[in-house]
Amino acid sequence: MSENSEISARIIQKRREKGLTLYEVAKKVGVAASTIQRYENGSIKNFKAPVLNAIAAALGVTPEWLCGKSQADRSYAMPRNVYPADLGDYARVPVIGRVAAGLACHAEENIEYYEYASKDLIRSGSDYVYLKVIGDSMSPLIMEGDLVLVRCQEIVESGEYAVVLIDNEDGVVKKVNFGRNYIELISINPYYPPRRFEGNEMERIRIFGKVIESKRKF
């Protein structure tokens, strides 16, 4: 049996043992039920580690157990001064590598993995994504590779940071200023001058969402 076949079999085994439906597991993981089904039937060739980790957590087992090892509980060998976090105060948010015209906020094909965000930052009834920042136009405030938490919405207030699309190109993070009959996109890096769109040019701009926070990993 291949490693992927073993993983698929163990997902099915543990889900059935716990009496969970595909939908219930998918809801815990934060993906569509069809995604869990594809993991179970082995139609996904390259299993993504972040998704497997999330499936393991949803089923109450370790990722190691899903991969064929014997450890079936959720105890991890951790340093003595490190303790498991209580994830009850956090929400799993999809991480996307780009914002493109025509892609919905939670377009499954655009999701790379999941990151945890404090529930204090999450507003009920809204969609959220983490966007991986590309480029240095917002440095040093936001650096390339940072993750920005974005609340998907089409309107922001003047002076707020947002992910915007220009002429249906990939989305970028900018400070957005609104004036009388113009929109100005501001970069923090002084190398990049402000871009002003006036009159009919304002129609070239579409707001994807408001930036709520940024985080950096080294």
CATH numeric code, 3-66:
1.10.260.40
**Looking at residues 110-128, what average pLDDT do you find?**
83
The mean pLDDT of 152-164, rounded to a whole number, is 94
Q: Hey, what amino acid is at 214?
A: S
- The more confident residue out of 124 and 148 is 148
Residue 82 reports pLDDT greater than 70: no
Judge contact between 95 and 147, C-beta under 8 A.
yes
Residue 115 pLDDT class (50, 70, 90 cuts) = confident
137 has catalytic annotation: yes
Query: Residue 159 has which token pair?
Result: 């002076």
CA distances from 154 to 70, 103, 115, 118, 162 (A): 49, 14, 23, 23, 10
Superfamily grouping for domain 90-215: Umud Fragment, subunit A (2.10.109.10)
pLDDT in tens, 66-77: 887 654 444 444
- Determine the pLDDT at residue 217: 77
Catalytic residue among 174, 175, 187, 214: 174
Residue 72 is predicted with a pLDDT of 42
pLDDT at position 68 is: 75
Q: Which of 137, 187, 210, 214 is catalytic?
A: 137
Delimiting residues of CATH 1.10.260.40 domain(s) in the chain: 3-66
Distance in angstroms (rounded) separating the CA atoms of residues 187 and 166: 14
SS3 content of the chain, % helix, strand, coil (to 5): 30, 30, 45
Least Cα distance to 10 among 68, 54, 76 occurs for 68
Rounded to the nearest integer, the mean pLDDT of the chain is 83
Reply yes or no on whether the pLDDT at 47 is more than 60: yes
**pLDDT tier for residue 160 given thresholds of 50, 70 and 90:** very high
Query: Is the pLDDT assigned to residue 83 strictly greater than 80?
Result: no
Looking at the chain, the domain(s) classified CATH 2.10.109.10 span 90-215
pLDDT at 92: 79
pLDDT over 60 (residue 107)? no
CB 156 within 8 A of CB 174: no
Amino acid at 200: N
